[in-house]
Amino acid sequence: MRTMFFSILTVLQFALFSFNVFPEVNHEFSDDINIYFPDIDEKEKQILKSKGRIDRYPDAFNDFALIPEISLKNKIREEIEKTAFNTAIESVFYSGYKTEAAADPGRDTFDNNNDNSDKIQSAINKAFAIITDIEGLSGITYYSISDKKEKILFTMSRILTGQITGKESSNIPMEHTITAVIEDTTFGINKYIIDYKFSDNHIVMKMSNLEKLKLGFIPVSGKNELVFHIAVIPAESGMFVYCSGICKTINAPFIRNRIRDSIYNRVTALYYWFSDNFHS
């Protein structure tokens, strides 16, 4: 009887400890998901929370269901709809904020005693400084499935017009445009236009090609037919990043599969470029 009593007491103590320690984070995460990504199902929520990423591969415009519920959502949808794409991916990434006591090496720390609005404002200022540093794309890597190893994706990135100075300030412009020349291992050297929009503490970056893209000597996509969107959302529980990539390319299985891999690699590389800088 005494053994049973202590067993019950142990279970109750563990349950009470679990209730007090764990659900607060899960509750905040769940609230944020319901606000910004209401179409994510329960299974995807668990994957996003545990692995930090979920992916979908839309076949048509109406399949894009992960675009976050932010004031710029309709703008993103309109821009996707303009491109008659036949290859696409959309992804949602998540990383929690680290407190001072539990901070990992190389991670940002946030004082939970600060007002949430201050925490979010600090995060958005840093995020803006990172995603406008286009020259920082140079040297980022991706995992090549065909070569089975890490490879450099962007070998060169240089801003032509629209350089921003004083990016650590809180004076974030509502709209800004950068043009850049970027060299990568798939499409070679090409010019890109990168638009930024800021609204309600969310930043949306759109990147599209200004020149026809080629695989070797084969033209695979026309001007403004390879388009990426990145939406950065500092929320209560952590940082959400939405990435999508679409392309109108030659409707041949080999080319489409190659472009799809390339889009996936770019979405992944763009996120980790942002995340590594944000948490460093």
The CATH number of whichever domain residue 155 belongs to comes to 3.30.530.20
Residue 204 placed within a domain: yes
Residue 13 placed within a domain: no
CA dist., res. 45 & res. 50, Å (int): 9
Tens-digit pLDDT profile for residues 204-237: 999 999 999 998 888 999 999 999 999 999 998 8
Residue 221 placed within a domain: yes
The neighbour count for residue 134, using CB atoms within 10 Å, is 24
The CA-based angle 178-249-149, given to 5 degrees, is: 75
- Name the least confident of 61-70, 140-149, 196-205: 140-149
pLDDT at 60 over 60: yes
**For range 124-141, the mean pLDDT:** 90
Which pairs from 40-43 meet CB under 8 Å and 24+ separation? 40/66, 40/92
pLDDT at 85 over 90: yes
**For range 162-184, the mean pLDDT:** 81
Confidence of residue 125 (pLDDT cuts 50, 70, 90): confident
Residue 7 placed within a domain: no
State the residue range of the domain holding 51: 23-278
pLDDT at 131 over 80: yes
Nearest to 180 by CA among 166, 196, 167: 196
What total of structural domains would you count in the chain? 1
Residue 143 placed within a domain: yes
As a 3-state breakdown, the chain gives helix, strand, coil percent values, each rounded to 5, of: 35, 30, 30
Share of the chain above pLDDT 70, in %: 81
Cβ-contact 179, 160 below 8 angstroms: yes
The CA-based angle 70-60-68, given to 5 degrees, is: 10
Residue 52 placed within a domain: yes
Residue 220 placed within a domain: yes
Q: How high is the pLDDT of residue 98? A: 64
List, in order, residues 6 or more apart from 44 with CB less than 8 Å away. Answer: 54
CA dist., res. 198 & res. 230, Å (int): 12
CA dist., res. 136 & res. 194, Å (int): 14
3-state secondary structure of 216: coil
Residue 4 placed within a domain: no
